Amino acid sequence: MTGLEEFLSGTIRLSAPLILAALGEIVSQRSGVINISIEGMMLGGAFAGFAAGAATGSAGAGLLAAAAAGALLGCVFAFLCVVRNADQIVAGMGINIAMIGLTGALMFGGRWLVQFIASRRAGRPVIPRLFWYMSIVGSFMTLSYFLFSAKQDSVGVLQNLFPGFTAAYSLYKDIQHRGWNRDKDTPA
């Protein structure tokens, strides 16, 4: 398979969730509901699915958690728009921004749980590579929250910019020192 064929194959495969979300939004739009919070619902569902799947080791549990998180966020959107008479676009943007900040904070904070579990299993202090991945993703998601929200808080930007670069540098040094498959080479 050539590089172009791999690229096109990956594009089609990875676009399936976005296509399904767009189809759901089309149905929603046809019924008169402007739900622009679909990205936030997908982000919340993806995080819940990742967390549940990683915690239980079960893809089914991850799928159920993702569906439950998406449904819960749909209920929040419906509550805001129907019961509280909020504007659909404002409520949708609020859910999107809140989910970017919340999943970034949970990813950034959840790395400590990953480090605790890895150290407990090894019986000594260790920093697994997932710690650095979660640090980078959490830092830059939280950074984007501070950059693109209405606050544009400079303290929040600086507070997340430095840890993100530090984690990226630490991951780079870890890969440079031990290679890509370091977790497979260490004894359990």
Dump pLDDT digits (tens) for 166-181: 889 988 988 888 887 7
Q: Residue 133: which of 176, 177, 164, 173 has the closest Cα? A: 164
> pTM of the entire structure?
0.73
Residue carrying the six token digits 């921004």: 97
Residue 184 has pLDDT above 80, yes or no: no
Q: Which residue carries 């019961």 as its tokens?
A: 83
